[in-house]
Amino acid sequence: MQNYEETIRGACTRALELVRDGQMIGLGSGRAAAQVTTLIAEKIRKEALSLVFVASSYQIEMLARQLGLRLVHLESERPLDLTLDGADQVEMKTLNIIKGGGGALAKEKIIGSNAKKVAIMIDESKLTKRLGDGQLVPVEVLPFGAGAVTRSIERLGGKPALRCGQGKVGPTITDNGNMILDVDFGAIRDPVSLEREIKMIPGVVEVGVFSGMADLVYVARKDGSVEVLKRE
């Protein structure tokens, strides 16, 4: 039986078809992003490509440096040609997604929103008919406002819980020095409105609902095939 890394490799390999010489590419975070970053490094060596990258987390920045990739800061005068990332959940019909399981949602959303094309790599277990069904929504918050944000989210119908670290005491702290609330909204009827309402709460840095951002989703199936979903 294949593990997740073996399964997702097919989707990541297919996503490489989007990589072209001279591109500036945004790299997401998590296992799929790490997998595709490693595959891109192999592609660069084989094809002598000239590429530059913007990393969304310390995890991917450190991996990219180990692989010898050229990292740059996000340039305001030039959009990214492509962003490659994973997801915690993808709604099949709309391709709206939930991200932030790894805590890098703020930079991931900045990178995705500044790319000409966003491609997501997942395995089929992460597809759903209704976003939020069986999946918590991460919300990054300023530590000073965590309590106030918690109460505001409860008024929206969510059930928030402060994410705590594994292997350390206390709350999980993001690369930006903030905390994360994992919120159970159940199946989300209107992801676009929910994303907007949470973002309007003072103290919220970012919300893990990414509506209307993914252009392509590469889905690794159990039989080894890869399905490509496109946003309508």
- What is the span of the domain harbouring residue 203? 137-207
115 pLDDT more than 60: yes
| 36 and 61 together in one domain | yes
Mean pLDDT, range 173-189, rounded to an integer = 97
**pLDDT band at 30; cut points 50, 70, 90:** very high
What would the two tokens of residue 202 be? Answer: 């003072």
105 pLDDT more than 80: yes
d(CA 146, CA 173): 12
| pLDDT of the residue at 76 | 67
| Number of domains within the chain | 2
| pLDDT of the residue at 75 | 75
| pLDDT of the residue at 165 | 82
**pLDDT band at 171; cut points 50, 70, 90:** very high
Task: Provide the annotated active-site residues.
Answer: 108
| 100 and 143 together in one domain | no
Mean pLDDT, range 74-102, rounded to an integer = 93
| 98 and 163 together in one domain | no
**Whole-model pTM?**
0.94
110 Cβ contact list (under 8 Å, min separation 6): 56, 74
